[in-house]
Amino acid sequence: MRLILYRLLQAIPTLLGVATLVFLMLHLVPGDPVDALLGEMALPADREALRHALHLDAPLWTQYLHFMAGLANGDWGQSLIDQRPVLGLIAERLPATARLAGASLLLAVVLALPLGFWAARHAGKRQDMTAMGFSLLGVSIPNFWLGPMLMLLFSVFLGWLPVSGMDQPGSIILPAITLGTALAAVLSRMARSSWLEAMSSDAIRTARAMGVHDTMLWWRHAGRMAAIPVLTMFALQLGAVLGGAVITETVFDWPGLGLLTIEAIQQRNYPLVQGCVLLIASFYVLANLLADVLAMWLDPRQRSA
């Protein structure tokens, strides 16, 4: 509980810093939300009236204080486009992102653990080089390239899966593969190195000297020791998957939080962009907290640290 409270207290200045940076960057980059709403050919009087109605004519520091006061009261503002609450718009898109993230993480675990164990079990051999070669390929290929290539192969050429959206059967397969491949590559490399480190520890050497079967050494003893960094990395991926979802959802037109963020940026919808980025940052903070708690739960030595 002390760790959780300490991490939560640390998260407050972190999230305040994120909110401040996002607010400043959005208001300093070129572009005007009034142009997005009315177009560049609108009359000056109409532009000024809309600017006043949206409080965009107030000084920057006044807008900032109003934004921070709203956050303190649980009010994330309203969308500049349709005047709907930001939290309501995020709540509508969040289930789609959660569905995609869950499928991607499940795919990453199913691929990473067997691949990492296989590479560690045959360390230095051809099997190890093959497994780590696939892992390196998964890390190196960016989502914005892999997504269109999968779309061309399985949707355009073969016609097996839908091109975009989430309404048709199997529509989640290509986005999940695109987002989960890089996660699986990172986890498999971590699993390999963790298993090898555990197998070279004094505890495993002692167990081997006592006659413990090799299979028991790999799965029961070394597996528990290797699970600590792997689960920690997996918890951190919970936050990273939302960042990757921004690109993946845009490529596949997946109606989640990532696509909502891109649409808000294109429309210069300041409150909505701020809300989306702040929520993603909050997930990163919670993922780090979850990683610390998992590490302490699996390794009793860290509880007294």
Residue 72 C-beta-side C-alpha neighbours within 13 Å = 7
Structural domain includes residue 292? no
Structural domain includes residue 36? no
In the prediction, which pLDDT does 66 show?
Answer: 85
Structural domain includes residue 125? yes
Structural domain includes residue 287? no
In the prediction, which pLDDT does 304 show?
Answer: 56
- Distances in whole angstroms, Cα of residue 152 to Cα of each of 123, 147, 149, 158, 172: 36, 9, 5, 8, 16
Is the per-residue pLDDT at 149 higher than 90?
A: yes
In the prediction, which pLDDT does 173 show?
Answer: 92
* CB of 274 closer than 8 Å to CB of 282: no
- What is the share, in percent, of the chain residues with pLDDT greater than 70? 95
Please give the tally of structural domains in the chain.
Answer: 1
Structural domain includes residue 37? no
Cα separation, 155 vs 174, whole angstroms: 9
Residue 168 C-beta-side C-alpha neighbours within 13 Å = 13
Q: Which residue has the higher pLDDT, 275 or 219?
A: 275
pLDDT band at 63 (very low <50, low <70, confident <90, very high): confident
pLDDT in tens, 94-118: 999 999 999 998 998 898 888 988 8
Q: What is the mean pLDDT of residues 24-31?
A: 76
Token couple for 162: 């839908």
Structural domain includes residue 25? no
Q: Which residue has the higher pLDDT, 31 or 144?
A: 144
pLDDT band at 300 (very low <50, low <70, confident <90, very high): low
Is the per-residue pLDDT at 129 higher than 70?
A: yes
pLDDT band at 201 (very low <50, low <70, confident <90, very high): confident
Cα separation, 176 vs 138, whole angstroms: 14
- Distances in whole angstroms, Cα of residue 188 to Cα of each of 101, 127, 249, 270: 18, 14, 24, 39
Is the per-residue pLDDT at 44 higher than 90?
A: no
- What is the share, in percent, of the chain residues with pLDDT greater than 90? 10
In the prediction, which pLDDT does 301 show?
Answer: 62
**pTM score, whole prediction:** 0.82
Supply the CATH number for residue 170's domain: 1.10.3720.10
* Domain assignment of residue 162, given as a range: 90-266
3-state secondary structure of 163: coil
Structural domain includes residue 78? no
Structural domain includes residue 122? yes
